[in-house]
Amino acid sequence: MATPDVRVLIVDDQEPFREAARLVVKLAEGFSLVGEAKTGEEAVEMAGVQVPDLVLMDINLPGIDGLEATRRIVEANPDVAVIVLSTYEAGEYEQRAIDAGAVRFLPKSDFDPDSLLESWLQVG
């Protein structure tokens, strides 16, 4: 049985991380990239147009931060799963991400194709 195509939006203001995330999405079976955003505002707008299944969201973004962007995306479409990826350690930021509507908080250092698939299987 084929893995369903999971449509992914990457949100990060740092090109090196977006590049790494593109590679992770490409290597993870059943995932496809539908867009990238550099700001919280772009993320909210793009999520409304592309309607991804999954958003990979950074916390620190220009304009509205990733937590507020998460809140707005989930309010507009509760079926969109948001995984917050951050250089911050879990703890306060993890709870704030969950409170904003994210389904999971994952340190960027732990992000790879296996963790993407595992995270999706837990929420998808």
pTM: predicted TM-score of the whole model, two decimal places? 0.92
Beta strands in the chain (DSSP E): 6-11, 31-37, 54-57, 81-86, 104-107
Where are the chain's structural domains? Answer: 6-123
C-alpha–C-alpha distance, residues 100 and 79, integer Å: 14
CATH fold of 6-123, please? Rossmann fold (3.40.50)
Q: For residue 123, what pLDDT is reported?
A: 76
Q: Tens digits of per-residue pLDDT, 22-47?
A: 999 998 889 999 999 999 999 999 99
The C-alpha atoms of residue 55 and residue 60 are separated, in whole angstroms, by 15
Indicate whether 2 pLDDT > 50.
no
Looking at residue 121, its pLDDT comes to 80
Q: What is the pLDDT of residues 45-61, one digit of tens each?
A: 999 999 999 999 999 99
In the block, tokens 């490409």 appear at 26
| pLDDT single digits (tens) 82-117 | 999 988 777 778 999 999 999 999 988 888 888 888
